[in-house]
Structure 1
Amino acid sequence: MAQNVLLTGGSGFIGKHLTDVLIEAGFSVSVLSRSNREDTPRVTYYKWDIKKNYIDKNAILNADYIIHLAGEGIVEKRWTKRRKRAIIESRVRPVEMIYSVLEMNNKKLEAFVSASGIGIYGAMTSHKICTENTPPADDFLGTTCQKWESAADKIGSLNIRTVKIRTGIVLGKNEGFLKKMTPSFKSGFGAILGSGKQYLPWIHIEDLCQIYLKSIEDTKLEGAYNACVTDNTTNARFSKTLAKLYDYTIWLPKVPPFVLKIMLGQMSVAVLTGQRVSSEKIQKAGFEFQFTDLEKTLINCIK
C-alpha cells in the first residue's frame, strides 16, 4: 500500500503542483481543507478549521508524512496589525494543532516537512550571502519565519525528523509571483522597483517540488535548507529580462521607494529589499537544480 503524504495548503499554487509530483512518485496524497470536498481517485480530503481549532485527527493518524504549506499570503494585503497577526497565526497554529494530535495519540511520522521563507534573514539589502547558519532577523519577516520554524521544531521534539524549506520567489507558468508581474510587463509598462539593486532569489516550481520530494525520501535531510537559485539576480535584472522576452526595453523610470511605501505601507519592504542567499547546503545534500538560467526559466514560464 502506498505511503500517505498529508498536505496543509494543498489547494494552493505549490500544493497543486506538489500533489502531482507526489502521486507520480508513488505516494497517496491527503489534503486538509476548510470546505467539505469529496474524495477523488487521486486525493483524499479531510476537514479542518483553524479558527475553530478543529482538525480531523484521522488525517494525521493515517499519514506517514506531513508537508505544511498553509499560510496567508505575505504580499496579498497591507500589513495592518490584524493582518500581521493573521500571517503568523496561519503558519503557526496549524502546526500546534498537528502537534497536539501527534502527542495525544503517540503517533510517529516518518517526517514532518514545513515551508519557511528566506525572509527569515530580514528585509534588507546587502552583499552578504545568507546561509542556513545566518541568525534570524528581528523585523516582521524574520520574526514570522522564526516562529514558523520554531513551531516545526516542536514536532521535532517528538523524535520526528523535521525539515524546513526556506523558499525564495517561486516561478511557474503564469502563477505565483509572475501572475502579479506579467500583466504590466506584457502590456509594455514594466518597470524597475526602487533602486533595482535588491536581490531576488528565485526557484522554479518544478525544482521546489522536487526538493519537497527529496525531503521526505532522503532520511539524511533534517533541519533548514534554502530553496532558491544562487545567481545573484536583482530586481533590475529580473525586470529587464522579463521585458526583453516581451520584445521591448524598459522605458519607464524606476518606481521611487516613496511611491511604493504610499501604495503598500509597511509591506513595501518586501519588494524594496532582498538578500543574497546560498543554496550550497541543499546541493551538497545531492539536489541538482534543473532550472538555473533566469532567461530560460522565464521563457518556460510565460511562453
Structure 2
Amino acid sequence: MKEIVLITGAGGMIARELSKKIEKEFTVRFLTRKKKHENDFEWDIKKGTIDESALDNVSHIIHLAGANISEKRWTQERKQELISSRVDSAGLLLETVRKKNIKLKSFISASGINYYGTVTTEKIYTEDDPPGNDFLSEVVVLWERAADDFKEQNLAERVVKIRTAVVLSKEDGALKKMLPTIQFGIGSALGSGKQYMPWIHIEDICSIYEAALKNSAVDGAYNAVSPQHTTNENLTKKIAEVLNKPLFIPNVPAFVLKLIFGELADALLEGSRASSQKIQETGFHFKFPDLKGALEDLLKKDN
C-alpha cells in the first residue's frame, strides 16, 4: 500500500509540480476550497470547516496553504489574512489530526526566507540565526510555531520547515511578473538593485519537498535557496541576457514603489543572502545551482 500524502494549497504552483513528482510512490490528496478532482477534499479556513475524511489513513501532510505575500497592499485586514491563511489553517489541521487520533510520520510546512528579516546586509544567514523584527519575520515565526505544535503535541514524528526563497517558474510568481517588461525591452531593476534576491528553481524546491518526505533524517528548518547568490539588478540583467533583450530603462526609484505598494515595497527593495549548506548536508543536490542555467531551462524551452 502506498503511503498517503495530504497537500494543502492545491492551487499553488509548488503543489501542482510536487504532486506530479511524488504521485508514483505516494497516494496524493489535496485540501482545497472547491472540489474539482476526485482526490480533492474541501475545507474553509475562515469558517473552520474541513472534510475530515481527507485525513483518513494519512501518513504525511505537506502544508503549502497561504495567501500571496505580494498580491495586494498590506492593509491591517490583509496582514491578518496573510497570518491567518498560514497559522489558522495549520491549527485546523492540528485539531483534526488530534480528533482523529492520528500520529503523522511527518508534517512538512512551507515557510519563508524572510524569517531573517527584510534587510540588505552582507551577512549570509543560516538556520541557526534568530528571526528579524519586521512584519514578514513575524508572519514566518508564527507560521513555523504553528508547524512545531505538531511535534510538541506528539502528533507528528518530525516537523520540517522549508524556508523558501523566490521560486523561479515561467508559469507563476516573480519571474512571470518580470518577463513582460523585459520582453518589451523596458525591464528595470527595483530601487538600488543591490538588494540580494534569494532564489530557487521550481524543480529544485519540489525536489526539496520530496527529499523531506522520503528522508526521515530531514527534521527542523531548512533554507530552500540556490547556492548561487544574486541581486535584483543581476537577476534582471540575466533574464534580459537569456532572452537576448536590451535593458535601456533606469532603475525604478524606491519612492515610486512605496507610493504604489506601501509597506509591501520593503519586501521588494530589501533582501539578504541565505546559506543552503544545511539542506545540502542531508545529501540533497541542486539540479539548477546556477542562475543562468536555471533561467535558460525556464525561458529557452519555448524560444
Residue 241 (structure 2) pairs with residue 244 (structure 1): yes
CA distance in structure 1 between the aligned counterparts of 2:263 and 2:216, rounded to whole angstroms: 40
Counterpart residue number, 1:64? 59
In the alignment, structure 1 segments of 5+ residues that lack a partner are none
CA distance in structure 2 between the aligned counterparts of 1:226 and 1:32, rounded to whole angstroms: 25
Change (3 A) 1:231 1:99: same
Query: TM-score, length-normalised on structure 1?
Result: 0.96
- Aligned pairs for 1:48-197 (under 5 A) are 48-159=43-154, 160=156, 161-197=158-194
Query: TM-score, length-normalised on structure 2?
Result: 0.96
CA distance in structure 1 between the aligned counterparts of 2:92 and 2:65, rounded to whole angstroms: 13
CA distance in structure 2 between the aligned counterparts of 1:193 and 1:153, rounded to whole angstroms: 35
Q: Which runs of 4+ in 1 moved over 6 A?
A: none
Change (3 A) 1:174 1:150: same
Q: Please report how far the alpha carbon of residue 158 of structure 1 lies from its aligned counterpart in structure 2 after TM superposition.
A: 2.9
Q: Please report how far the alpha carbon of residue 101 of structure 1 lies from its aligned counterpart in structure 2 after TM superposition.
A: 1.3
Return the match for 1:233 from 227, 230, 234.
Answer: 230
Q: Percent identity over the alignment?
A: 45
Counterpart residue number, 1:6? 6
Tell me which amino acid in the other structure corresponds to 1:269.
D
Q: Please report how far the alpha carbon of residue 157 of structure 1 lies from its aligned counterpart in structure 2 after TM superposition.
A: 1.3
Residue 284 (structure 2) pairs with residue 287 (structure 1): yes
Conservation of the 8 A alpha-carbon contact between 2:182 and 2:245: no
Residue 268 (structure 2) pairs with residue 271 (structure 1): yes
SS of match in other structure, 2:271: coil
Counterpart residue number, 1:217? 214
Q: Please report how far the alpha carbon of residue 62 of structure 1 lies from its aligned counterpart in structure 2 after TM superposition.
A: 2.7
Q: Please report how far the alpha carbon of residue 85 of structure 1 lies from its aligned counterpart in structure 2 after TM superposition.
A: 0.4
Aligned residue pair count? 298
Counterpart residue number, 1:31? 30
Tell me which amino acid in the other structure corresponds to 2:32.
S
CA distance in structure 1 between the aligned counterparts of 2:192 and 2:3, rounded to whole angstroms: 48
Q: Please report how far the alpha carbon of residue 243 of structure 1 lies from its aligned counterpart in structure 2 after TM superposition.
A: 1.2
SS of match in other structure, 2:261: helix
Conservation of the 8 A alpha-carbon contact between 1:174 and 1:182: no
Tell me which amino acid in the other structure corresponds to 1:22.
I
CA distance in structure 1 between the aligned counterparts of 2:34 and 2:113, rounded to whole angstroms: 31
Tell me which amino acid in the other structure corresponds to 1:265.
G
CA distance in structure 2 between the aligned counterparts of 1:55 and 1:111, rounded to whole angstroms: 20
SS of match in other structure, 1:95: helix
CA RMSD of aligned residues (A): 1.0
Tell me which amino acid in the other structure corresponds to 1:29.
V
